[in-house]
């Protein structure tokens, strides 16, 4: 009786480990679909690609979309329009490059703003 119980427990553990490994592989990020609304000669494209490539082969369940968005938007000229997980193994991202629209002078300092008055740069 004791051997049957031990066999049942060990079989259940082996099955559980197998399922965890299969799910970890099945939900690892394999596709990052990115859409860019940028000028053709933009060097910011490479920055975004580097940030997104850090997510490849990580488990989709543990990818932090807010962190990815914040890392992309550290560059004031970039704005994430959409970012989402697409199960079982994809991330979709749409990034727009903000355009300089206004330049204002405040106490001798010039600020560059976009169409929503977001400060892009200080000159």
Kindly report the number of other CB atoms within 10 A of residue 29's CB atom. Answer: 20
Tally the residues of the chain: 123
CA angle 23, 63, 84 (to 5 degrees): 100
| pLDDT at 28 (0 to 100) | 85
- pTM recorded for the entire structure: 0.78
List the one residue out of 100, 101, 122 whose CA is nearest residue 110. 122
DSSP states along 6-34: HHHHHHHHHHHHHHHHHHHHHTB--EEEE
* pLDDT tens column, 11-64: 888 888 877 776 767 788 888 998 988 876 677 888 888 999 998 988 888 899
The average confidence (pLDDT) of the chain is 88
């Amino acid at each position: 009786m004791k051997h049957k119980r031990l066999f049942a427990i060990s079989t259940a553990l082996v099955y559980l480990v197998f399922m965890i490994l299969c799910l970890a592989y099945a939900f690892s990020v394999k596709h990052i679909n990115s859409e860019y609304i940028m000028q053709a000669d933009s060097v910011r494209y490479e920055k975004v690609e580097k940030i997104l490539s850090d997510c490849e082969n990580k488990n989709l369940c543990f990818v932090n979309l807010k962190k990815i968005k914040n890392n992309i938007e550290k560059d004031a000229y970039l704005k994430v329009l959409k970012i989402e997980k697409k199960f079982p193994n994809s991330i979709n991202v749409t990034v727009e490059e903000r355009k300089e629209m206004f330049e204002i002078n405040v106490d001798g300092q010039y600020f560059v703003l976009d169409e929503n008055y977001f400060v892009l740069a200080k000159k």
